[in-house]
Amino acid sequence: MKKVAVLSFAVAALVIAGAPAYAGCDSCKLAQTEDGWCDGCKVGFFDDVAIKSKKLFDAVAGKKVDPQAMKCPSCVKAAKQDSACDQCGVAFAGGKAYKSKVAQTLALGKAAQPDKLACSMCQKNSKDQGWCDNCKVGLVGNRAFKNKQAYTRAAAARKVLLAAAKTAETCPNCAVAMVSDGTCSACKVSFKDGKKVSDKSKDDK
Ligand SMILES: [Zn+2]
Ligand SMILES: [Zn+2]
Ligand SMILES: [Zn+2]
Ligand SMILES: [Zn+2]
């Protein structure tokens, strides 16, 4: 009997060792549900993607906006429709402004609580991404999309975000450029839809 207890303790310790450092942190748990940053662990979350670079996190984080305080008429319209203002380079979703189109595309989804999903297929999808034909809903991280087109766009956006979170470990500027179709002046590369675009190849296309 004693042996069993020791063994299960060893297994539990092994599981904990394999989990990320923030797994037991309450402030991280909260950050995971509301796309926040945990100061203690120096990690942020967006659509359940862990982001260790504050620079990248700030680039994807949304800012609450007050439509009445907006000066740009095109922004006011875009905020109402959850679309983008091309003049100002911001996109809106759910009352927040995003500089990153990748972030806005994901933010258009409805917050889903993966552990409360009744359908096992949807539960599986929420671990990464996937469409459930039974429920007619696509899950992308902890966001749900009822429109298949919006789901497909969000699924692609999350892939870019995952790649950017990885890239941030080597160059945070490149990571920011990846999520906002920008340029990293240090590495002299530009990105479009998360992919590198070299200026020379532009003429070939
Ligand atoms: Zn934490
Ligand atoms: Zn504007
Ligand atoms: Zn389902
Ligand atoms: Zn770079």
Distance 84 CA to ligand 2 centre (A): 8
Closest CA to 33 of 109, 94, 98, 111: 111
Statement: residue 84 has pLDDT above 50: yes
Distance 177 CA to ligand 4 centre (A): 8
Q: How far is the centre of ligand 2, averaged over its atoms, from the C-alpha of 82 (Å)?
A: 13
- Beta-carbon neighbours within 5 Å of ion ligand 1: 22, 25, 27-28, 38, 40-41
- CB-based contact 121:132 (threshold 8 Å): yes
pLDDT value at position 109? Answer: 97
Q: Which residue has the higher pLDDT, 108 or 24?
A: 108
Query: What's the confidence (pLDDT) of residue 22?
Result: 72
In this predicted model, what pLDDT tens digit does every residue of 111-164 receive, in sequence order? Answer: 998 778 899 999 999 999 999 999 999 999 999 999 999 999 999 999 999 999
Q: Is the pLDDT of residue 86 over 60?
A: yes
Q: What are phi and psi of 195, to 5 degrees?
A: -110, 150
65 touches 92 (CB < 8 A) = yes
Cα 107 to Cα 90: distance, rounded to the nearest angstrom: 13
Task: Yes or no: say if 101 and 89 are a contact pair by the CB < 8 Å rule.
Answer: no
pTM for the full predicted model: 0.85
How far is the centre of ligand 1, averaged over its atoms, from the C-alpha of 93 (Å)? 26
Residues 4-59: tens digit of each pLDDT:
555 555 444 444 445 666 778 999 999 998 999 999 999 999 999 999 999 999 99
Dist. CA 23 → ligand 1 center (Å): 8
- Expressed in angstroms and rounded, the spacing between residue 123 Cα and the centre of ligand 1 is 24
More confident residue, 73 or 18: 73
Task: For residue 192, give every residue at least 6 positions away whose Cβ sits within 8 Å of its Cβ, in sequence order, or none.
Answer: 181
pLDDT of residue 1: 47
pLDDT at 3: 52
Torsion angle defined by CA atoms of residues 146, 126, 31 and 195, in that order, rounded to the nearest 10 degrees? -80
- Rounded CA-CA distance 19/24 in Å is 9
- Tell me the two tokens of residue 114: 């993966």
What is the greatest pairwise CA distance in the chain?
Answer: 73
With b for 16 or more beta-carbon neighbours within 10 A and e for fewer, the 88-125 pattern comes to: eebbbbeebbbbbbbbbbbbbbeebebeebeeebbeeb
